[in-house]
Structure 1
């Protein structure tokens, strides 16, 4: 099978290369030959930005596909003009003699996704299936009500799944409006293989032309019922659809959830006028107080998450907090592809709006990011976070700084110096003290990724001002930071700034700043020449031995003892001039 797939891919690639046309995509591996819709599906990439896309290819020269040309052209025309979030997104089309190439968003067939979900826990699988039905019901309600059309081809072969696990409605080969003179459903609908297996009783009795006499939703409602049975009972035979037929019995429910079964029966009502429409099915599923057999969508965790994300920007801060807490609790049970490709981008986008909720959003973003493949981490998480450093919103800035330790390791020096630092340094002069302090604290994490120019010049100028900040905690943290940075500074920079900086801290009115100054001297002992220790360091520290605060005095005695021991060790290694003269004699 893989060999045949590769042969097909090579053949189409050859046609693309020999056509002489400028294709906007690069054709990749063949994913599927859909015999029911007569299209071949390929992975591809857009040429202009290398983003992932899908390519649907219809080749009329393939045996048995010639008569399908009007339906293929109808699929193209309808897909191009039907725009909705739950409809397969059309991007571009290229037509050559007898071949149509349609470029869409990257998707895979629902049938292959269903196979992957069969082995997963029942509850998680059912949640995903119900969420998918919700999206398809929304799309169908749009097609039936807003477009006044019948899709006519609702089955797994016409549904596709995005990288985020969202279901997208496609398969527009027979999508028609009774008002359209060129409608194909009523005259050519039977050309689609196996389409009568999902046709309602009235169509099976007299043909597709009868659909013109009923609401456009009637055939799709019946097919939606068949789809529900197929999804939850894939190994069971399809319900009887030949007219007349009795309504489904409780014993035929199989694995269809009890909450959906009443609506399922109404979708399969043999009378088109009494049949529940996709819009009615959607309304029942979203109802909160309609009683038994309703609310099956509102109770679905994935539907809840999507609704919360969609309305997040306009929600109150209290509602945002409640939603984020709920999302954090449910995160472990979310499908990985849904969490990474739907929830994560939505949260990153919400971060751009800033505000108090940013402090709750960023930890969730980083938590979800742990499941992102390394090759996708930069695009999904790191690049958006780096961009957010330019945000003027203080809530966003604080969140970025508070959680810097969780993503700093994946940033390279160029990113830090060229993109982080130019925006970060504005925090040293922010009018809000907590921003200034958080900025100072962040430097110890970023320092290993700063170049010499920033480290020995621009940064030290900011720290010099921070040592005179009105907030004692900022002055203290600045001194601690200088003590930790000392060993990494250039030789001349160390000799020029360390002793004055630490000495200034020893004169600070805040007791912990003075203690920090003493400890910084000790931490940087290897940065000083021996004569500096004797002539500058010890004289600077010794007055603190009589400081009014015992905490400072105790630390000063320890420091002086430490430095004196260093001096004694050095003095013991020195050779006296008297001994030199005696040896010479």
Structure 2
């Protein structure tokens, strides 16, 4: 920026305390309408005032091409110092040296360029309002200042401010009819390029007779040019008298009056003052004119009157239809600036002990109204200005405990959210926004929930998992059914931001809970969620969890619609399972394969003798098995083998305690076909022989010896054939088995 300033200073041969930027008008180009201007016009900045924008009018006194135009530039330079009217460009500074003349003004653009750039955005009402402003200013110059402008036109004398106001300038021919000795209108008009394009056919002699009628004619030509800029054959071509008399495309209420302004007979032309008086009723019905007038007057009102205006009467001018009729920049630089000023003033007013509840409530209502308009108009301004002016207000307003302010912020969030960065949302918006879920007012809770979906893309993954999910878990049990439904909508929307380790569990839990809700739309949303998230779940989750939950909805007692949708979703999930199952091998596994593999690994192989003698082969023991494999039966494998698969064929070593003694006749033994675990001595003769067997209590598995010998006790004789059993049952002292079985 400083480089540009120095560069322009070196080119112009002077140094001024302003920064030059882009060139707006260049008379040296020789292209109309730039060639109609005396001044070279630049955009600029004022470093002394925080680099606020300005417009720089420059005239090069050393340029030989400007030698004839110097009287025009000096007359404008001098008269702009004397003429201070509301409708005239506001001049900030004048600089004059031997090389240049500079006029530093408020930022403005030529009217013709403003209409070209904003083609289609400048409504008829905006043009009427601009014409009214120029007419009022020109009328004051004629009547109050007794002066003749003489140079009014679309291309060189009317400029537009950032707020959309039309301002009059181009005082190169401005002449005071009573006290101006130079009389520029008569002496220099012949060197003013384009002056003859709209001069009445009578010439300057008629001007001397009726001087103010020249401004009337110029004003009528100006009105025609504003409404027919796209219908003119080409810029700079003289508009014929017949075209002026037709006044096409001009509002019907102004047509007759405008035709009088450009009438051929000078004596019948009304002055500009008379024209404004005749058309006053039409202009006063224009809402934009009325609104602009109110905004200009509000600067002189008290603070109470200002607040009352914005709280009560502002709504009369800013309906959607009215907003569309505002000129570009009007809301941002004229309305919004006043709103921001009033909002800052009311925020500075602290609530004191002496403040009544009515005063506090009125202050809160006014703050909410002002904030509503600030957000409504703020979203239409440039992003750089939004960041500078509106963002701080939004961040501060989110910290206020007032419900009306919070509701205003949430209602406009969808409009200003695109202008918020991720840092803005994560640092200044998200945490205060979550507090709305705890509000006892269900409107605040529901609006907060809907607003989250607007900014969720700018919320960090950490905030979603550590803060938002906890709030949504409680919100899913809210008493208001629509909040429960919208909570599920939000959970489905943020599914991509949930941690992968817990994502499916969260989704299944949330969707399943909503399936059991009493609100039918909530159930339908859960089923819709299952459908949209089907690719997220594994087959195990589908079979083990999801199908069971959906199956419950197949018997929903409240809604046929739910049952129908549940059936469709159930079949959708079941189809995915069946498709996977159809890809599995159809050969049945051997049910005893694992058992066979075990014996193939650990059981000893039978020799030929054992195969020929099956009885002996059944009596193999683990000592032999491990010995054959070269293994010890005292190792870890043996312990695990004993625990997991006990040898049911072995005989335990009896204890010395004989509990109980059983006497059984030999005939009973033969009759019951007892196995050969009992060796019977046949030398004990007759049926009277009784086998007496000692039943031994087994010891712990860890103390048993594999392959222990059987103990046989010789039978004792009894009298008769009766079977006498002397059984004494002794209860185990410990029902729990010691050791592993």
If the length of structure 1 is used for normalisation, what is the TM-score? Answer: 0.65
Deviation at 1:478, TM superposition (A): 0.7
C-alpha contact 2:20 2:42 (8 A) present in aligned 1: no
Equivalent residue, structure 2, for 1:155: 152
Match for 1:185 among 162, 180, 183? 180
Match for 1:133 among 131, 134, 148? 131
Equivalent residue, structure 2, for 1:260: 257
Kindly report which structure 2 residues correspond to 1:272-351, keeping only aligned pairs within 5 A, or say none.
278-287=272-281, 295=282, 297-298=283-284, 303-308=286-291, 314=309, 320=315, 324=319, 326-327=321-322, 339-342=327-330
Deviation at 1:343, TM superposition (A): 6.1
1:224 aligns with 2:215: yes
**CA–CA distance in structure 2, aligned partners of residues 26 and 91 of structure 1:** 17
C-alpha contact 2:217 2:262 (8 A) present in aligned 1: no
C-alpha contact 2:478 2:484 (8 A) present in aligned 1: yes
**CA–CA distance in structure 1, aligned partners of residues 527 and 255 of structure 2:** 72
Which secondary structure state, in structure 1, belongs to the residue aligned with residue 26 of structure 2?
strand
Equivalent residue, structure 2, for 1:77: 81
1:508 aligns with 2:511: no
CA displacement, residues 534-561 of structure 1 (integer Å, 9 cap, x when unaligned): 4443444444444432344444444444
If the length of structure 2 is used for normalisation, what is the TM-score? Answer: 0.53
**CA–CA distance in structure 2, aligned partners of residues 281 and 230 of structure 1:** 14
C-alpha contact 1:76 1:102 (8 A) present in aligned 2: no
**CA–CA distance in structure 2, aligned partners of residues 466 and 78 of structure 1:** 69
C-alpha contact 2:539 2:577 (8 A) present in aligned 1: yes
**CA–CA distance in structure 1, aligned partners of residues 532 and 7 of structure 2:** 68
Which secondary structure state, in structure 2, belongs to the residue aligned with residue 260 of structure 1?
helix
Kindly report which structure 2 residues correspond to 1:416-435, keeping only aligned pairs within 5 A, or say none.
417=426, 421=430, 424-425=433-434, 427-429=436-438, 432-435=441-444
Kindly report which structure 2 residues correspond to 1:73-472, keeping only aligned pairs within 5 A, or say none.
73-78=77-82, 82=84, 84=86, 86-110=87-111, 130-141=128-139, 150=147, 152-156=149-153, 157-162=156-161, 166-172=165-171, 185-187=180-182, 189=184, 192-194=188-190, 204=208, 221-231=212-222, 232=224, 235=238, 253-255=245-247, 258-261=255-258, 264=261, 278-287=272-281, 295=282, 297-298=283-284, 303-308=286-291, 314=309, 320=315, 324=319, 326-327=321-322, 339-342=327-330, 378=383, 393=405, 396-397=408-409, 399-400=411-412, 413=422, 417=426, 421=430, 424-425=433-434, 427-429=436-438, 432-472=441-481
Deviation at 1:378, TM superposition (A): 3.8
CA gap of 1:565–1:347, structure 2 versus 1, over 3 A, is: farther
Deviation at 1:386, TM superposition (A): 6.7
Structure having the higher helix fraction is 1
**CA–CA distance in structure 1, aligned partners of residues 139 and 582 of structure 2:** 92
- Runs of 5+ consecutive residues of structure 1 not aligned to the other structure: 1-8, 206-217, 239-249, 288-294, 370-375
Equivalent residue, structure 1, for 2:717: none
C-alpha contact 2:220 2:258 (8 A) present in aligned 1: no
Equivalent residue, structure 2, for 1:290: none
C-alpha contact 1:222 1:268 (8 A) present in aligned 2: no
**CA–CA distance in structure 1, aligned partners of residues 112 and 162 of structure 2:** 14
CA gap of 1:77–1:429, structure 2 versus 1, over 3 A, is: farther
CA gap of 1:348–1:104, structure 2 versus 1, over 3 A, is: same
C-alpha contact 1:503 1:540 (8 A) present in aligned 2: yes
Match for 2:489 among 469, 480, 483? 480
- Runs of 5+ consecutive residues of structure 2 not aligned to the other structure: 29-33, 226-236, 296-307, 341-366, 398-403, 601-741
Deviation at 1:430, TM superposition (A): 5.2
Which secondary structure state, in structure 1, belongs to the residue aligned with residue 557 of structure 2?
coil
CA displacement, residues 124-170 of structure 1 (integer Å, 9 cap, x when unaligned): 9997765443121222355567x756464452243224578753201
CA gap of 1:348–1:68, structure 2 versus 1, over 3 A, is: closer
**CA–CA distance in structure 1, aligned partners of residues 18 and 317 of structure 2:** 48
Higher relative contact order (CA 8 A, sep 6+): 1
